[in-house]
Structure 1
Amino acid sequence: MSVTTTDLPEEDASSDAPGLRSGSLGTADIAFFVVSAAAPLTVMAGVAPLAILLGGIGAPVGYLLAGLTLAVFAVGFTTMSRHVTSGGAFYAFITRGLGRPVGIGAALLALVGYNGMEIGVYGLLATTTRDTVHSLFGSDVPWLPVSLAGLLLIGYGGFRSIDFGAKLLGVLLVAETGILVLLAGGVLLKGGAHGLSPASLAPAHVFVPGTAAVLAFAFAAFTGFESTVIYRREARDPERTIPRATYAAVGFLGLFYAFVVWIAVQAFGDERVVRAAGEDPAGLFFTAITTYVGGWAADLMHVFIVTSVIASLLAFHNAINRYVLSLAEEGVLPRRLGRVHPRHRSPYLAGVAQTVLGALVVLAFRAAGADPYQQLLLWVNTPGMIGLLLLQLLAAIAVPCYFRRVRHAEGAVRTVAAPVLATVLLAAAIALVVSHIDLFTAASPAVNVLLVAVAPAVFVLGLPLAWWLRRSRPDVYATFATGTTK
Structure 2
Amino acid sequence: MTSSPQTQSTATAVDPSPGGAAKLHRGLGVGSIVFMVVAAAAPLAVVTASVPIIISVSGSTAAPQYFLVATIILGLFSVGFTSMGKYVPNAGAFYSYIQRGLGRHVGVGAAALALGSYGVMLVGLYAYLGVATAKLLTAVHIGAPWWTCAIGWVLIVGFLGYRDIELSSKVLGVLLVAETLAVVIANVGIIGHGGHGGFSPVPFSPSAFATGAPSLGLMFAFFCFIGFEATAVFRNEAKDPDRTIPRATYIAVLFIGVFYAIAAWAVVQGLGIDDAVEAASREPESVVQDLAVTYVSPILTDVIQVLLVTSFFACVLSFHNVITRYQFTLAAKGLLPKAIAEVDDKHRTPSRSSLAFTVISLTAMAAVTVFGWDPINQTYLWFSGASTLGLIALMAMTSLAVIVFFRTKACGPSVWHTVIAPGLAFIGLTVILVLVIGNFALLVGSTTNAIVLGGIIVGMFALGLAVAERVRRAHPDRYRALAQAGRCHSLEATVQVRRVARGGAEAVDAGGA
TM-score (norm 1): 0.95
Out of 292, 296, 309, the position equivalent to 2:299 is 296
The offset of 1:143, in angstroms, is 0.7
For residues 87-122 of structure 1, the C-alpha deviation after alignment (integer angstroms, 9 at most, x for no partner) is 211111111101101011011111101112211101
Match of 2:166 in 1: 163
Out of 145, 148, 151, the position equivalent to 1:145 is 148
Out of 95, 98, 117, the position equivalent to 1:94 is 98
**Unpaired runs of 5+ in structure 1?**
1-6
Task: Tell me, yes or no, if the aligned pair for 1:88 and 1:481 is still in contact at 8 Å.
Answer: no
The offset of 1:229, in angstroms, is 0.7
Match of 2:405 in 1: 402
Cα separation, 1, equivalents of 2:133 and 2:86: 41
Task: Tell me, yes or no, if the aligned pair for 2:39 and 2:311 is still in contact at 8 Å.
Answer: yes
Match of 1:3 in 2: none
Match of 1:229 in 2: 232
Is residue 413 of structure 1 aligned with residue 416 of structure 2? yes
Match of 2:333 in 1: 330
Task: Tell me, yes or no, if the aligned pair for 1:113 and 1:383 is still in contact at 8 Å.
Answer: yes
Cα separation, 1, equivalents of 2:13 and 2:137: 47
Out of 436, 446, 449, the position equivalent to 1:447 is 449
Cα separation, 1, equivalents of 2:17 and 2:474: 28
Task: Tell me, yes or no, if the aligned pair for 2:62 and 2:204 is still in contact at 8 Å.
Answer: yes
Cα separation, 2, equivalents of 1:10 and 1:61: 46
Task: Tell me, yes or no, if the aligned pair for 2:406 and 2:412 is still in contact at 8 Å.
Answer: no
Cα separation, 2, equivalents of 1:338 and 1:10: 6
Query: CA 1:273–1:132 in 2, change beyond 3 Å: closer, same or farther?
Result: farther
Match of 2:458 in 1: 456
The offset of 1:8, in angstroms, is 5.1
Task: Tell me, yes or no, if the aligned pair for 1:58 and 1:201 is still in contact at 8 Å.
Answer: yes
Out of 168, 172, 175, the position equivalent to 1:172 is 175
Query: CA 1:282–1:138 in 2, change beyond 3 Å: closer, same or farther?
Result: farther
Cα separation, 2, equivalents of 1:455 and 1:409: 33
Cα separation, 2, equivalents of 1:231 and 1:9: 19
Is residue 192 of structure 1 aligned with residue 195 of structure 2? yes
* Consecutive aligned runs of 4 or more in structure 1 exceeding 4 Å deviation: 7-16
Q: Which amino acid aligns with 1:65?
A: V
Query: CA 1:224–1:482 in 2, change beyond 3 Å: closer, same or farther?
Result: farther
The offset of 1:196, in angstroms, is 1.4
Is residue 105 of structure 1 aligned with residue 109 of structure 2? yes
| Equivalent residues in 2 for 1:61-460, closer than 5 Å | 61-134=65-138, 136-137=139-140, 140-441=143-444, 443-460=445-462
Q: For residue 470 of structure 1, give the secondary structure of its aligned residue in structure 2.
A: helix
Cα separation, 2, equivalents of 1:418 and 1:91: 20
Q: Which amino acid aligns with 1:208?
A: T
Query: CA 1:298–1:251 in 2, change beyond 3 Å: closer, same or farther?
Result: same
Match of 1:483 in 2: 485
For residues 257-285 of structure 1, the C-alpha deviation after alignment (integer angstroms, 9 at most, x for no partner) is 11101100111111112121122110000
- Percentage identity across aligned positions? 38
Cα separation, 2, equivalents of 1:445 and 1:350: 36
Task: Tell me, yes or no, if the aligned pair for 1:91 and 1:481 is still in contact at 8 Å.
Answer: no
Match of 2:22 in 1: 18
The offset of 1:384, in angstroms, is 1.4
For residues 66-89 of structure 1, the C-alpha deviation after alignment (integer angstroms, 9 at most, x for no partner) is 111110111111100022212211
Match of 2:497 in 1: none
Is residue 473 of structure 1 aligned with residue 475 of structure 2? yes
Task: Tell me, yes or no, if the aligned pair for 1:92 and 1:482 is still in contact at 8 Å.
Answer: no
Q: For residue 340 of structure 1, give the secondary structure of its aligned residue in structure 2.
A: strand
**Unpaired runs of 5+ in structure 2?**
1-10, 489-513
Instruction: Provide the aligned length of Structure 1 versus Structure 2.
Output: 477
Cα separation, 1, equivalents of 2:482 and 2:87: 16
Task: Tell me, yes or no, if the aligned pair for 1:92 and 1:481 is still in contact at 8 Å.
Answer: no
Cα separation, 1, equivalents of 2:435 and 2:192: 37
TM-score (norm 2): 0.90
Task: Tell me, yes or no, if the aligned pair for 1:338 and 1:347 is still in contact at 8 Å.
Answer: yes
Task: Tell me, yes or no, if the aligned pair for 2:163 and 2:347 is still in contact at 8 Å.
Answer: yes
Q: CA RMSD in A?
A: 1.9
Q: For residue 343 of structure 2, give the secondary structure of its aligned residue in structure 1.
A: coil
Q: Looking at CA atoms only, which structure, 1 or 2, has the larger radius of gyration? A: 2
Cα separation, 1, equivalents of 2:285 and 2:378: 18
